[in-house]
Amino acid sequence: MPSSTRLHLAIEPIRDPLQVQSLSRRPVVQLSLPALYETRLVGSSAWAPDGRSLVYVSNRAGRNNLWRLDLDEQGSPMGEPRQLTSSDQRQGSPVWSPDGRTVVFISDFDGDEQWDLFALDVASGAVENLTGTPDIAEQSPRWSPDGKQLVFISKPRSGSSFEIELLDWKTRERRPVTSNTPADWGNFHPLWSPDGKALVYLREHAAGKDSYLIHYDFQTGAERILTPHEGEKLYVANDWSPDGKRLLITSNALNGHDNVALLGVENGRIAWLTEEEWEVSGDSFTPDGQGVCWSANVDGHSQIYVQGLGGEASQLPLPAGMNYPTGSDSCFQPRRGGLLFYHTGPADAGDLWLYDRQEAVRLTSSVHPELSTPAARESMVEPFLVHFPSRDGRWNLSALLYLPHNVQRDGSHPGVVYIHGGPASQSVNGFNRSLQYLVNRGYVVIAPNYRGSTGYGKAFQDANYRDLGGGDLDDVWSAAEFLCATGYVNRKKLISMGGSYGGYLTMLAVSKMAERWAAGVAIVPFVNWFTELEHEDPLLRQYDLATMGDPVENAALYRDRSPIFFVDQVRCPVLLIAGAQDPRCPKQEAEQVAAAIRERGGTAELKIFLDEGHGFAKVENQIAAYRQVAEFLQRHVPAF
């Protein structure tokens, strides 16, 4: 039976914009861009087999490299972390071999997303490129239980489908598990059975709305669908039970919202553990197999639960904000049982924590010293959770609203509508460097979760199907109207700002709603559906075809939703920032719209970072990009 636990909002949302109130804080410390962006990022992590060490990704030295942290018997850090790799290129997805001698990880070149698999010899520090395929991306490595093989997913640069492959550790020979997958489907998240005799993996449609779990038997080579169904339903396998009889899964098949369940490997029966209408995500079985760990994202605020099989779920007493179980191959500490999790909050940079013996201990310290003082922490802003109706009355929209301290409700302040990317993503209550900087400089910011966002169920996420740049753009304007209705913001000082799909909506806003905006900031955007299809990665092309339809049959829709065809309407200054190696929103997108605006006498500033892709990994480039944003806004829509 599903748990009787009922998830509730961490804070009550505000529906009346006049209830939003600036707080009095004296003094307010000026937050510097270098301090914010030199606050370290902490990425994926993995336990050593003995549970006494962690390997994790951090840009502690300016690049996303691998670091090691050793723990004592009580689970506390033993000294400072040690850097294991030193590379100018970003690294990710570390997995520790069962014998503890090797860490396998992925790395690409200047953000091009053509990942290779690498192996780090833990004792000597030597690094070996295992695949060396500049035109094939290899990702998601996992060791077999006996350490003799690696499973991973791979995709050629020119292909759209990820396939699953094996790498023999001794001979370095590769062999396929899947092949000839249809162009609009892909294979992901392979998980070894505890005895190493089988895999379970995900086969997902390019639109991201339908998937199956497939069991692969190594002895017979037989594949078996574990989750046959009708209609569009999503299934993800999170973990095998220690006895290999059940899978912990996350699925929206119960009620259109992500919930967690147990799936019988032999009989395919599903036993639901939760029945919620928020976003619940499974993670791991407890080491004894008698319980599971899952997290719940409730309107952009996330907490972690441990639930005995057949029992009630218990929420862990963790700090407010966003908390996720983390660690490969399990969040639970081998041989000790502590639970590894990632925590971030409005004033808390993302860090690894360990929950053990009823206590949460922070393992990493990522915040820059300049931001760790009480005065600096109090100068950061906790957002208000606000709700408002969509313009068409179909949806109750959610947003986070950041209001500077010590400002008057006098209608004089500039406002920023900060649009997340995706569109299948969500603005959440975590540490956001750029938003805290803007708010600290006097900008009032709202970050809406428009239709198509994750976190609110299948119907809401599907609401932009064949309507990208339509209802979601209206939702962006609804957020702007709520912002103005607070009484703090000057309607003539509105700024649209976003990255990736948020950059696309920004450009659509300043072209099709031109008279409403004072400036636009589009980071790694696309602006032309036709050229985006031509130049983007083939996998993303399949996603766009699935969501927008055929470009010939739906040419009118493609044209109507492409900002480039409305560029003559742009009235405000625009800043565009792109990465030269970006396979998702290629630099040609930003280049063509900047040129078109300039040809018509408009203001379009363009900056392309030659050694970056989709989102910037190098700290100096992050600082340079957001310094350019700050200077652009100060010139055109100053706060003071």
Quick one: pLDDT at residue 503?
98
Are 56 and 47 in contact by the 8 Å Cβ rule? The answer is: no
229-246: average pLDDT:
98
Q: Which residues of 561-570 are buried (b: 16+ CB within 10 A; e: fewer)?
A: bbbbbbbeeb
* Cα–Cα distance for residue pair 120/109, rounded to 1 Å: 18
* Cα–Cα distance for residue pair 254/218, rounded to 1 Å: 31
* Cα–Cα distance for residue pair 294/302, rounded to 1 Å: 11
Are 164 and 116 in contact by the 8 Å Cβ rule? The answer is: no
363-368: average pLDDT:
96
pLDDT tens-digit map of 124-133: 999 999 999 9
* Cα–Cα distance for residue pair 118/109, rounded to 1 Å: 13
CA angle 324/41/450 to nearest 5° reads 60
* Dihedral sign of CA atoms 257, 260, 265, 266 in order: negative
Are 144 and 240 in contact by the 8 Å Cβ rule? The answer is: no
Which tokens belong to 250? 């996350």
Residue 6 has pLDDT above 80, yes or no: no
**Cα 87 from chain centre:** 23
Least Cα distance to 489 among 120, 17, 5 occurs for 17
* Cα–Cα distance for residue pair 542/539, rounded to 1 Å: 5
User: Residue 162 corresponds to which amino acid?
Assistant: F
* Cα–Cα distance for residue pair 223/429, rounded to 1 Å: 41
Least Cα distance to 323 among 400, 431, 425 occurs for 431
Beta strand ranges found along 363-488 (DSSP E): 384-389, 396-402, 413-419, 444-449
413-438: average pLDDT:
98
Q: Where residue 608 falls among pLDDT bands split at 50, 70, 90? A: very high
Helix pair angle (433-440, 619-636), 10° resolution: 30
Are 561 and 470 in contact by the 8 Å Cβ rule? The answer is: yes
pLDDT tens-digit map of 463-493: 999 999 999 999 999 999 999 999 999 999 9
Phi and psi at 126, nearest 5°, equal: -70, 140
Q: Where residue 576 falls among pLDDT bands split at 50, 70, 90? A: very high
* Cα–Cα distance for residue pair 616/523, rounded to 1 Å: 10
* Cα–Cα distance for residue pair 169/94, rounded to 1 Å: 16
For the chain, the C-alpha Rg in angstroms (whole number) is: 24
Q: Where residue 5 falls among pLDDT bands split at 50, 70, 90? A: low
Beta bridge partners of 117: 106
Residue 446 CB neighbours (<10 A): 29
Quick one: pLDDT at residue 153?
98
pLDDT tens-digit map of 161-187: 999 999 999 999 999 999 999 999 999
* Cα–Cα distance for residue pair 143/45, rounded to 1 Å: 15
Residue 264 has pLDDT above 70, yes or no: yes
Phi and psi at 444, nearest 5°, equal: -90, 130
pTM confidence score: 0.96
**Cα 93 from chain centre:** 14
Are 630 and 33 in contact by the 8 Å Cβ rule? The answer is: yes
Quick one: pLDDT at residue 10?
66
Phi and psi at 211, nearest 5°, equal: -155, 160
Helix ranges (H only) for 184-324 are: none
* Dihedral sign of CA atoms 623, 628, 632, 634 in order: positive
Quick one: pLDDT at residue 92?
98
pLDDT tens-digit map of 44-80: 999 999 999 999 999 999 999 999 999 998 889 999 9
85-108: average pLDDT:
98
